[in-house]
Each structure stands twice: as C-alpha cells, then as structure tokens.
A and B are shown apart, each in its own frame.
Chain A
Amino acid sequence: MSTAATTVIEVRTAPHLHSGRSVDQIMRHVVYALLPMCFYSVWLFGISAAALIATTTAACVLIEHWSCRLAGRETSIGDFSVVITGMLLGLTLPPGLPLWMAVVGAFIAVAPGKMTFGGLGFNVFNPALVGRAFLQAAFPAAITTYTPAMALNRFSQFIPTSLATPFLKAAPLKDWIAQVRVDGFTGATPLMLQKFEHVTTDPWTLFIGTRAGSSGETSALLILLGGGYLIARKMMDWRIPAAMLLGALLTGGAYYLSNPVKYPSPLFVLFSGGLMLGALFMATDPVASPVTPRGMWIYGLLMGLITVLIRFEGGLPEGVMYAILLGNALSPLIDRLTQPRTYGEGKRMFAKEATTR
C-alpha cells in the first residue's frame, strides 16, 4: 500500500492557509517605529529622557507581568503591547518629570488602565493616555514644567527634577535652566509660547523638532517616518491619522481665516504639541478605536476638531490627550452607528451619522 496508508492525517476546518500576520509581530514593529523617536529624544534632552523612557517601559512591563501572576494566568508581556504602552507614556511626558511620578503613571496606565479590563483587546482607553491623564490631574505643575532642548551637559547631568525624592518638593528649575541654556532655546513649548506670549515658532523648527516639549512629541519628521513605515507594512490604518490631521487642519484653518492675527497658521497647528504623535501612535491604538471604515473617519475628524477647540478655546495649551480619550470613549458608539451596508441589503439611510459628528 502507499505511504499515505500509514500516515496520520489531521482534520481541521478551513481555511488551511493564513496570512502569517500575528499580534506580537505587529506590536514588535510598532516598537521598532517608536525607537527613532526615543533616540532623538535622548539626543535633544539627554540622559534624563533616556532614564524616563526606560523607567516607564520597564515599569509597565513589570506591572503587567505581576498583574498576570496575581490573576493566576500566563504572562502576556510576550505580545509586546505593554512595551508600546511604556514607550508611549515616556514619550508623552516632559523629559524632566520626576522618575517616581513616571512609575506612578506607569502603574495607573497598566493596572487600572489595561489589566482590570481584561488585558490586551479589552481596554476602553489607550492605556498610556490613561496614565498620562492621571499624572496631569495629580501633578499639574510637574507635568507642565518643560526644559529646553539641547541643554549643555545634557549627556552628563540629569535634569535636577528627574531624581526628585517622592512627595518632596523638587528644586526650582529656573536657575538650572539659565545655567545650561543654549541661545535660541527656551523651556517653554511652542504651544505655550503661542498661547501665552503670542510668539509663533516657525513650522520648519517644529517639523524637525529642535524645540522644547514632551520627550517624544517634538519631531514631526520622525513621527511621520515611523508611522509611514507601519502604514507601508499595513500594520497601521492610515485612515485614522489622516482623518485626525485633516480634522485639525480644517478646524485650525477656519480659526486662522477668521482671525489671522490672533490664531496661528494651520501648519503650526499640525506640527506643534502632541498632535502628530497622538494622531499616528495613540489614536491608532486599534483596541480603542472603531473598526468600520466610516467610523474611522468620523472618529479621526472628531478628535482633530476637539484638539483644536481645546487649544484655542480651553484653558490648556494642548488638547490632544483629552481629544483622544474622548474619541476612545465614543468609539463603541461610533462603531454601532456606522455598521456598513451589507451586500444585497436594501439601501439604508444614514441619518444617524450626522448626529455623531
């Protein structure tokens, strides 16, 4: 008889082929795409930024690992999603933030922000932003204290606040900044300068990123490169960042046209603050964003709109974080209202779409 007679054949259900994509592979590539921003951040802000990003990443990974152990299940750090959370949290914080606060942020991001919902795939909000939002509420002064880029001695000296002792008042930074400052660089972010002093930074500086700001948000160029890489590899959906940037551009443009003296140009709106980082790496968190094609556009446009509204109408200089968290909260609703018309189904009216916008 043939050789097949002695062979055990397996019975499985179709399909018998698979694209080969896996969650851990996608997450790993997101980590790769974030690395250039991390390196640039270290170059701009020195060892403080390195310590900050390393601290948030390590803390997030350890907390997820321990949470899994506590829940008596297999650790999920192998899917790399928590590495992204840690890196993103570090990248959205001011480089001189006391490291102990960063650990608190990491704890909030992972433990209540992700693991209590059931871990990857079940969190309602982007975990890194949950951590950051908590820090913003708990330590409003520290999280709005920015230090200048390209400071002298940045590779040999920590920013004094980085190593602050928990719960003690950190040393004021004014004297230190005056000491290490290089001409042309201030500790104020372009958004603060624009909002409070009406000084507009030129778009090229914003695009390249030699400015003050959160450790990873400064270079639009590197963010676009990283995001472009993921989009080209089909590991990120281009529609959400496109919609969010378009939403911000349109809203910013409307403001600019209404009063070009008071409001900055739409280009400034696009490249300043955390909009780029938020649009490409936080709003695109698939878990907390809609899955329907129309839903993605609505979600993105809405977040772009809210970002600019907070910047121009609210008391805060930046609104990306709250815009994305609000978008996250709305995304199940958006999904529900934008279910696509299925093949062969009678044409349905989409009156609902207007109400969500």
Chain B
Amino acid sequence: MSLMELIADKHLDRGLHVPEHKDLTSGLPIRRLPFAPMLVVPLSQHAGTPAIPIVREGQEVVRGEPIAKAAGFVSVPMHSPATGRVAKIALAPTARGDLSMAIYIAPYRAASQEVLYGAPQDIGHMTPEEIVQAVQNTGVVGLGGAAFPTHVKLKVPEGKKIDTVVVNGCECEPYLTTDHRVMLEQPAAVLHGARIAMRALGAPKAVIGVEDNKLDAVEALRDAIDAEAARGLTGITVESVPAKYPQGAEKMLVKVLLGREVPSRGLPADVGLAVFNVATLAQIGELLPVRQGLIERVVTVTGPGVRKPGNYLMALGTPLRWALEQADCSEQVSSVILGGPMMGPAVGSLEIPVTKGVTGILVLTHEQVNGHSRIYPCIHCAACVDVCPIHLNPSHLGMLARKDRYEEMEAEYHLMDCFECACCSYVCPSHIPLVQYFRVAKQMNRERKARA
C-alpha cells in the first residue's frame, strides 16, 4: 500500500503498479491513417453471433454503408470502412489464431475519408427501445477491448433497475492512450453518449472514473460538464482514482467508485449499474445523432518496436502490417500484441485486421521479450495472493493445475471468478505461467461440460 492510497479514500486494495510507458503516446493528438490498399472486415468482430453479409462480391460500396446485418439481438451490423469495391468474401486470419469469414474491400484510389452515408435523427423523442435499436444499428460494441455489443447492455434486464451509469476511463493497461486522447479531445461526445445511455437505462446519474495519471482528461471532462450545467444538464460527475492495475476491469472500478461488488458470475446490473468504456460512449454520442455506423476507431500504435508511435484513427479492417508500416516499424520486432501487454494476445500474422475491440498495437523488441526465463518451483511466497484483485489463491490454484485437478479448481477455489488480469504471473518470482494455467483449466472444464 502506497502513501497515496492511505490518503485517498477510494483506491483499489489489491492489484499492482506496472511501469506505464504511456508517455510515449499520451501527448500525441489523434491522427488519421490513410486507407490500406485492401481492408478486411471480419463478420465476427464482437462477442455474439457473426453478422450476415448483405453485399455481393464485385459490388460497389460507399463509406459508411451497411455491408452485413446483425444476426439476432446479441449481434451487430458491419459498415463499409471505405468507398470501393467488395473484392471477395473469404476467410481471414484472426487474433485468436484461427480463420473466420470477412468481407474484403478494395478502396478506390482517391476515395475520400468523408462519410456521406447517414441522416440526422432526433434522439430527444426516442423511447428507450428505439435507442437500443438505433445503437444496434450503429454497430458499436465495447471499444475497451471486450467488444460486447453495447445495445445489449443498454437494455435493462427483466426485474432489474439501473440507478447509475459507470463510465470507464481508467485505461489501466500500460502503453495504451486511446481512451486518454478521446477524453481529452472529445469530452462533449463522451458526455453526450453518457446521456444517451442514461436515457435508455432510465438512470438519473452517471459517474466517470479516470485514473489520476490522466488529470488533464479529468479537467477536460470537468470543463465539458460545466458547459452542460450552464445549459441545465446535470447528473454526470467525474472522479479521479489512484492509478493501479487492473482498475479498468469493470468489477474493480465499481467497487472503487461506488463500493458495490458485482456478485460472483453476476452482472453489474445485479447491483444497479451499467458500465461502459469512454470511447464506446464517445462513438455513440457522435454516431447516433447522424445515424452512422462504426467504421473507424482510435488505436494506440506504440512500443519500443515502432519509430513513429501515436494514437491513430484507422479504418476498421486495416491490416496490422499496413498500420505498422505507417508507424515506421523497426527491424528488431519480436512480438506484436493487440491491446495492452498484460492481457493482450500476441498475434501470429500481420495480415490480421484491426477490429472493433483493438485498443492498441504494441510492438516489443527482443530487449523486452528476453528468452524463456527459467521456471522454479512455487516457493509459496504469497506474492500472487497479495496482488490478486479477486482475492483468489493463485499459488494453490497453480499447484492444482499442475496436477490436472481442474474440477477442484472450479468447485472449491473459485477458478471462474478469475478474469485473467495476469497480476499473479507478473509478480511470480518463480516465473510460473499461472494465468496461462488458469486459461487452460477453464477451457478443459468447458470441454468437459460440453461432453457431458
């Protein structure tokens, strides 16, 4: 526990301080990337059912035009990121390592980045149901990385009541600065999105949680809140909380901000809350009034492996290779990671496109990723126990995993509450890949249940 935490009344009691490396990009304004020669739009960029294509190969599409429709409620449509031609509908590599169907769009050579598709709509007179439908039409999903369809969370579950909308501006992963820049550059859009969410959910209040390493963003949001207050709009507050990983996990943030604990295997709605990422709300705030679809997002391209790091606004479907060329990738690349270094997957191919859930492209060189460190036996030092934000016992879980006692891990040691923040692996002096053991254990249990 640091001195700051003793003073601050709201703080995360576990977790840890990871070197942030955010200064590489936190001061760089959002800049637009040109279109790649080929954009690859996967039909499954979100949690839920893949979208269904509504275009044919060879068809011309306009930037912003729907090219795939939602397949049910827990699904979202896709929109063309550029004006061009549908080159093919075929398999494309994904960050998971497998292949999935995608629409390949070849932008016209002089295609403009201006969005001409769309029409104004009056949100003020919409019912909550209409807002949910309108948000689904934008194709917006959780932009903080989870990529869960946002409109699903805007629908109040049966028998529940939402009193507060929690807006997550923590961005606790090292290196990432997209949310930071969005809050700084588009505070009004964030607030507008928050108001739409409050209306849909019938929540009178919204609170924005921002870590104290982004105080300029807190200032920007406060100014925007004051400007709204002058117009008679109230109910939104912003709070800064001491920076600590993994505060950006929604379960952690609601505990810190409001002192409420989401029940094990439950949802924030169970305690009257709905949690949204700031960038998600900013997109809703911008897209909904003009009835447009999500076609681009801000991605932090950073790490020691790129010479021109930055916060780039890039078309969805931009292949990683193109993005890295624009950021001037160095020769010493050893891994390319989608998202932050604590939870983000390393990719096996640079042909993978940027999708809605990609917050960052982190390029590490051999200096950061130094060989396979030697794994020692667990010495029960309890470092993992002291950092686990869920208060699990990773040491014991790891020992059970080594003996393939997966069922016991779930039944007696709360394996399913682990959200894989990787704090335990980070601190382990024996270099035991604890979180990887837990991923395997969860998968084995899922497979066993599927067989049963």
Contact = CB atoms under 8 A, between A and B. Distances in A.
B335 interface: yes
B33 interface: no
Nearest to B419: A343
A19 B261 CA distance: 29
A4 B422 CA distance: 28
A141 interface: no
Nearest to A237: B382
A287 interface: yes
B433 interface: yes
A350 to B, nearest CB: 14
B37 interface: no
Contact of A339 (B381, B389, B393, B422): B393
Interface string B373-404: 11011111111011001111101100000000
B262 interface: yes
A121 B402 CA distance: 14
A159 B267 CA distance: 72
Contacts of B347: 9, 11
Interface residues of A, number: 48
B49 to A, nearest CB: 26
Interface string A277-312: 000000000111111110010000000000000000
Interface in A1-18: 2-5, 7, 9-18
A11 to B, nearest CB: 5
B330 A18 contact: no
Contacts of A2: 321, 324-325, 329
B161 interface: no
A25 interface: yes
B435 interface: yes
A175 to B, nearest CB: 47
Contacts of B396: 291, 335
Interface in A46-70: none
Interface stretch (B24-32, B216-224, B272-280, B423-431): B423-431
A168 to B, nearest CB: 41
Nearest to B349: A9
Contacts of B333: 3-4, 7, 9
Nearest to A79: B376
Interface string A319-351: 000000000000000010001111111100000
Interface of A: 2-5, 7, 9-19, 21-26, 79, 81, 118-122, 237, 286-293, 296, 335, 339-346
Interface of B: 16, 18-19, 97, 174, 251, 255, 261-266, 321, 324-325, 329-331, 333-337, 341-348, 350, 362, 364, 368-369, 373-374, 376-383, 385-386, 389-393, 395-396, 413-414, 417, 420, 422, 425-431, 433, 435-436, 439
24 contacts: A2-B321, A3-B330, A4-B329, A9-B350, A12-B369, A13-B346, A14-B420, A15-B426, A17-B341, A22-B374, A22-B431, A23-B376, A26-B381, A119-B377, A120-B379, A286-B382, A290-B382, A291-B381, A291-B382, A293-B386, A343-B251, A343-B261, A344-B266, A345-B414
